[in-house]
Every structure is written in structure tokens, then in C-alpha cells.
Amino acid sequence: MKKDTIAAISTGMTNSGIGIVRISGSEAFRIADRIYKGKDSLLNAESHTIHYGFIRDENETIDEVLVMLMRSPRTFTGEDTVEINCHGGTYVVKRVLETVIKNGARPAEPGEFTKRAFLNGKVDLSQAEAVIDVITSENEYALQSSISQLKGSIKKKIQDIRNKIIYETAFIETALDDPEHINIDGYGEKLKSVINNVLIDLNHLIESFDSGRIMKEGIQTVIVGKPNAGKSSLLNTLSGRERAIVTDIEGTTRDALEEQIQLKGLTLNMVDTAGIRDTDDIIEKMGVNKARDYVTYADLIIYVVDASRPLDQNDEDIIHLIEGKNTIILLNKSDLKVIVTKDNLQNKINNILKIDKNEGKLAKNIPMIDTSLKEEQGIEEFEDMLNSMFLKEEVSFNEEIYITNIRHKAALLDACESLKKVLDSIENQMPEDFFSIDLMDAYEALGNITGETIGEDLVNEIFSKFCMGK
């Protein structure tokens, strides 16, 4: 690791009340003292103190500042750290940084402060990755999940599992080295019990990924329906603004409109699509085909039905399209004379998909809500249904761990595969040294999550995605 002193602007590059220039490294105090003019020198100042003064570039005063001093190891990076709090104008913050660099620091690389925290043992890799997740959080669940990981929830769980694995590995190695004093007869059955319990923990973490991804990235949501069912009205109602043009003319929406919407702590990455129908209009047909493509990759389909008009062939096409998908059906225009009821639509769905009505399979899978988007009726029921569909139980980040990083999920899957090989070896009565090989593979796979067994290239790649100054 480079041991030189680094500096960067740690606040957004916009005109604001306060701007912060952060300095970290062995020369941080000396560099700050060279450019700081105040009552006392910074060199012998106590740690975790704040000092009022001015930043000067030779004889020119640049800004009036507060300078925070933090001595290692009680800092974020584990190194001596100085934070210069100046006025937040874009030009003045850049001038302060330029003066710091002119006096001995070098510009920090993206994520280098957090990278140093990781390399100096202040955080593990899962906590370091949680830093950027906190910054990019777009809803309450994403923020709380990231904070939980930043506090070390994943680190503690993975360490606990790795300790169990390494204990068994060490026992096997010791027994093989000293067979006269350590008897391993029947050890395979004991190890099988330990591994099965570990696999339960790992599978629980893996299964949390879908919910974790939803919290972090949002629900990929597609609105479908035939023309003039109320799809664009739904987008406008949920977004709180006139995002889409609403008219009585069929085929108004020809391309996909995208909008990110926050509902009760969840994020919906919502796409309003062209009304699905047979058409000779080339442009509208392209929009319909695009709508079908969006449905393929959606987490949620919102099927808007015009309850004031009879179901037709277009509805039948949509019903085939949503088969097997997470879907909520909104029976819109309930303020008008209703022709299509929930029972009507369920019968239609059962007939189209040839599902025995007595089994009730589809009735359980596709909830329906009577709505009037014009009167904004049914929206609260829709929000509650959304939460119950994607958050199966009340979320408690004090007790539950959610995997939100695809890299972590891949490592967990690798660990599971290695442990299953151990079970196969036990079942086939293989020699004990076969156990330890796969146990160590699982141990190292889990170490990729915390960063204990990860390569330098991957570390560099991870931190290169961080913002400058963090």
C-alpha cells in the first residue's frame, strides 16, 4: 500500500454552505500546519480537536476555516487525518485542495480513503462496500440495510461461520498428524451435523438476496394494459406529477416512459408501456413489442384493466403474457359503471390458462384491487399489497441480515458447493484429508466476502467504483 499523504474534496462539488477537504497520511498534520494560520500551531495539538483560523497560499488568504485534527489510530483510515471545513463555494474548495496538494499531498484516487481503512484493518471489505451503499441509498430500507452492514452484521456472521469451518479443519489436520492420541472414528457423522447447520445459515443468507436486491436496487416494475385502461394515469398518480400524457385517444403512449417512485420505503423503477393491442401503425407496434420485452425481465407487473369496458382479445393476450409473473391487477375506473368484476376477470383467467377453478392456483397468485385512478381510490391498498408481496414480514435490521451484493451471493454459493462436496466425501467414506481440502475451499470462498482471501486486483476494482474523496 502506498504510504504517502493523500487529499481530496469529500463533499459534493456544488455551491453549498460547507465544503470539506480531507487529508490522510503521515504528513497530514505537517501539511495542514504549513497552510494554516491561527492562534496555535497544529503540530502539537491534541487529537480530535477543532481549530479556528485561515488557509493561506503563501501570502494570500484563501478562506476562513475550521480545521479538525484526528490522530491515528482513532480515525476512519487508521492514519493521521485532517479535515478542513471551509465555505462551500466550488472555487474556494478547489483552491483549498490545490493549496494542500501544493504543500506535499497528492490527489486521492477514487475510494482511496476507504481502501486505506480496509487495508489498515479498520473495516472489512463488506463494511467498506457498505460505505458506498449508504451514499447511494435511495430509500429507507436500502439505507438501514447498508447501515446494518456498515456496523458489521455480515462481517460477524461470516466470521462465525468461518470459525466453525476452520475449527473442524484444524481438528482433522491435528488428528492426521497425531493418530495415536486423537481418535477420529465416527468423526464423519459429527462433521456432517456441523456442515448441515452451516449450510442452513448459508442458504438463509442466499435466500435473503432477492429481498436485499429489491431494497437496494428497487422493484423493476412494468405497467401493462390495453390502450386507455389508465396506465399513464397510474404513473402520474404514483409519481405525483404529469409524467405521461393522458388523453382519450388510444395509442397515445408509444414508447416506454421510465420513472423512479418511492412508496412506503420501497423504490419502484417503473416503466409505463404502450397499450398492448393489434395495430397496423408501425411506430405503435414497435412500442407494443418493447412492452412485451420489458415484461420478460420485470420483478412486478401491474396489469391495469378498464373495468368499464368488456374484456377482449387484447386482454387475453395480456393474460398469457403475465402468466407466472409477480402481478397485481388494478380494476380501474370503478367510479364508472363497472362491467368487469374480480370474479369476471378470475373466471376469464382460469378459462384462458385452463386452470382448475377448484385448485385456486391463480386466485392466490394474482391479487386484484378495485381502483379509480381519476379519484385516486385504491392507491393505499395497492401500496400495502406491494409491501406484503415483496417484504414477507416486518423488516428488522437489528436481527435480520440481507445480502445486497451479487459478489457476496456468488461467494456464498461457492462455499455451499464446497461444503456439499464434503458431505459427498463423508457419504462415500473417503479419507479425512479429502474433507479438509473442500472445507478450506469453503473457508476461502467466505473470506472473499470479508476481504481476507481476496486478490489485490479485485480490491482495486471494487474501490475504483467509489466516489472521489470517500
For the stretch 16-63, pLDDT in tens is 789 999 999 999 999 999 999 998 899 989 999 999 999 999 889 999
**Is 231 annotated for ligand binding?**
yes
pLDDT value of position 236: 83
Q: For residue 36, how many C-alpha atoms fall within 13 Å in the half-sphere facing its CB?
A: 27
**Is 411 annotated for ligand binding?**
no
pLDDT value of position 276: 63
**Is 253 annotated for ligand binding?**
yes
**Is 457 annotated for ligand binding?**
no
**Is 447 annotated for ligand binding?**
no
Domains detected in the chain? 6-108 (3.30.1360.120), 128-208+402-464 (1.20.120.430), 217-390 (3.40.50.300)
**Is 240 annotated for ligand binding?**
no
pLDDT value of position 157: 95
**Is 229 annotated for ligand binding?**
yes
**Is 306 annotated for ligand binding?**
no
Q: What is the pTM of this model?
A: 0.76
**Is 249 annotated for ligand binding?**
yes
**92, 19 Cβ separation under 8 angstroms:** yes
**Is 354 annotated for ligand binding?**
no
**Is 425 annotated for ligand binding?**
no
**Is 274 annotated for ligand binding?**
yes
Residues of the chain short of pLDDT 70, as ranges, are: 1-2, 180, 241-256, 274-289, 291, 354-365, 392-399
| 262-276: b (≥16 Cβ within 10 Å) or e | ebeebbbbbbbbbbb
Measure Cα distances from 266 to 207, 219, 238, 261, 306 in Å: 19, 8, 13, 8, 27
**Is 275 annotated for ligand binding?**
yes
| 289-327: b (≥16 Cβ within 10 Å) or e | ebbbebbeebbbbbbbbbbbeebeebbebbbebbeebbb
**Is 17 annotated for ligand binding?**
no
**Is 122 annotated for ligand binding?**
yes
User: Exposed, middle or buried: residue 194 (CB in 10 Å: 0-12, 13-18, 19+)?
Assistant: middle
Total length of the chain: 470
How high is the mean pLDDT of the chain? Answer: 84
